Chains A and B, each alone.
Chain A
Amino acid sequence: MTNPILIAGGGPAGLAASHALSCLGFKSILVEKEDRLGGAPILSGYAKLVPSGEWARDAIGGMVERAMNDPLIDVRLNTTVTSFSGESGRFSAGLSDGSGADTGAAILCTGFTHFDPVNKPEWGFGTFEDVVTTTQVEQMISSGQGVRCPSDQRKPKRVAILLCVGSRDRQIGREWCSKICCTVSANIAMEIREELPDCHVYIYYMDIRTFGLYETKYYWKSQEEFKIKYIKARIAEVTSDGERLIVKGEDTLVKRPITIPFDMVVHAIGMDPNTDNRSISSVFGVTLEPNGYVDQLSVYGTVGATSRPGVFVAGSAKGPETIDDSIAQGHAAAVAALAAANPAAETA
């Protein structure tokens, strides 16, 4: 019988990987550093997910419940992996709770960290209360509180969403596109208009990257049905006149400077590499790619292979990723890990 597979991280990718293994009749150890499973969608209180429109607490919550009740999945909460030695098929892992485990292979599903927009001080986050992040708006919606200006709980009449906050910006060393923020922002914009029909929502963009089928479902729908206005401009700064926020920039299509008042400014924050990636890299002996995500050795050969044989990666640990693709990659990595943990299967 194969040793269990170690899965680090209990978000969508980790939950999917452990479930896939369990479906095939194999055991896994699911190690989660927080006090509950679910990853970013649960821990950050996301509202309705793209593209299903299901609430995160139902969709991801269902995956969590399934894992918690699965006898083949050994869930270890408040735990991290502290050591990892051996080689593919015969690893030995040390956990922060003092226990150890023999494991055939490992899957890193360690996810990402939300970009902290105080690192872009010119856009006012941390200076003005009514400058918030997409995550905060998600929480306003998912908590049932509704979209309100944090300063005085008033309903905003005009909201600006700034895209690419913490993405595609060499000034702060983040050259990647975080992939999901355009779609998420269009989704949030529609949710704001749904709750507050009198509120005008403007999205300031450099490019709109609602890729694939999200084009019609989010970009087009937000314009055609919800009358969201998209303005091609990268905002220079967010200030205040004492009453409202003032957004300054250049409207590139009319080649004119703009200083427009807003009640609320939302930063569409990007996905940073997990802040723990350096220690993850050293514990598991895997290399990171230049941006700081876990390096993927092969794209076409073995799905999710890292620089260390027997250690695999899935989801946003290896770069910005959507929830549904993270889940697919979790499944794929589970199969790859199984093959590595059980070399007999390969030779048979």
Chain B
Amino acid sequence: MPIHEQSLIRPENLTTHEEKIIDGIDVSGHWSTFIESRVVTDYNEQMEDEIAALPGGEFIHRCWQCGSCTNSCTVNAVNPEFNPRFWIYLIRMGIESELIRDKDIIWQCVSCNKCTYACPRDVYPEGVMKATSHWLELKGHTPQSPSAIFDEVCTDQIVDTGKIEDGRTLRRFMQKTGQSLLQDWIVAMIKQLVSHLPVSLLAKMGLSTLIAPRTSGWSGARRALKRYIEEQQTEQQMAVNPVVAGEEKH
């Protein structure tokens, strides 16, 4: 449903008191229904700057609200609540509370980039969606998504050893997401592997899982990667929370 067709009065903005007496008049129950104000009383100018400072969000200020992104959007076709144009506007005007209401939808962007090619002003809405999800996560509005955890497990291993080892990846991912390794599908997969793979290959796999071999001469690459990741993280923290991050740095 396009935004302008949504009801202006939301259930969560209504309050009623079971027992309420105002100036001696009993207004208990629905007689005391109040509608919370929808008035925007200020612009939060920091919000756009924060998201613009994250990778992908650089060109958000170009948006003139034509709606080409939303019209071309793959996800919008399935879920009309997914409205990049609207979110870009909320970010630009700093209407944070409204954006956070949609925090569980924003990350659903599938990065098909149809919006990127539809946008007449090169806003790169796909990038803005990425930056916005990232911002929501950095600000603590959304928990780390399972896919982000999976990425992290893989990245950590590559930084550490230069390789990804499947068994280790699976174990760490299940552990970090609080899932048991004794899943039916895992048990079935291991049974199949044991019964079908040649013994030599199985031995090699088992050994790899145990000793986690490194790419030779990796230590230099590891140092460089770690330094780069640290720089990026500091930069992003600075963008989202300049005061705190600045103090930490000194």
Contacts and interface: CB of A to CB of B under 8 A. Distances in A.
Interface of A: 158, 200, 202, 220, 223-224, 227, 229-232, 251, 253-261
A251 B40 contact: yes
B196 interface: no
A260 B41 contact: yes
A227 B39 contact: no
Contacts of B40: 251, 254, 256-260
B92 A229 contact: yes
A28 B41 CA distance: 59
Given A254-B90, A254-B98, A259 B39 contact: yes
A260 B90 contact: no
Contacts of A253: 65, 86, 89
Interface string B23-46: 000000000000000111111010
Contact of A254 (B61, B62, B95): B95
Given A223-B61, A227-B61, A230-B64, A256 B38 contact: yes
B138 interface: no
Contacts of B89: 253-254
B243 interface: no
Contact of B38 (A158, A223, A227, A257): A257
B42 A254 contact: no
B45 A200 contact: yes
Interface string B84-102: 0010011011010010000
B3 interface: yes
Given A202-B43, A254-B90, 12 more contacts: A223-B62, A223-B121, A224-B121, A251-B40, A251-B93, A254-B95, A255-B4, A256-B38, A256-B40, A258-B39, A259-B39, A260-B40
A149 to B, nearest CB: 19
A244 B127 CA distance: 37
B8 interface: yes
A260 B65 contact: no
Q: Which 4 A-B pairs have the closest CB atoms?
A: A258-B40, A257-B39, A227-B61, A224-B62
A202 B65 CA distance: 15
A198 B8 CA distance: 35
Nearest to A229: B92
Contacts of B45: 200
Contacts of A259: 39-41
Interface string B1-34: 0011000100000000000000000000000000
Contacts of B93: 229, 231, 251, 254
Nearest to A262: B43
Interface in B51-66: 61-62, 64-65
B3 A255 contact: yes
10 contacts: A158-B43, A200-B45, A220-B62, A223-B62, A223-B64, A230-B64, A254-B90, A256-B39, A256-B40, A260-B40
Contacts of B41: 258-260
Contacts of B65: 232, 253
Contacts of A224: 61-62, 121
Contacts of B98: 254
Nearest to A230: B64
A255 B95 CA distance: 13
Nearest to B92: A229
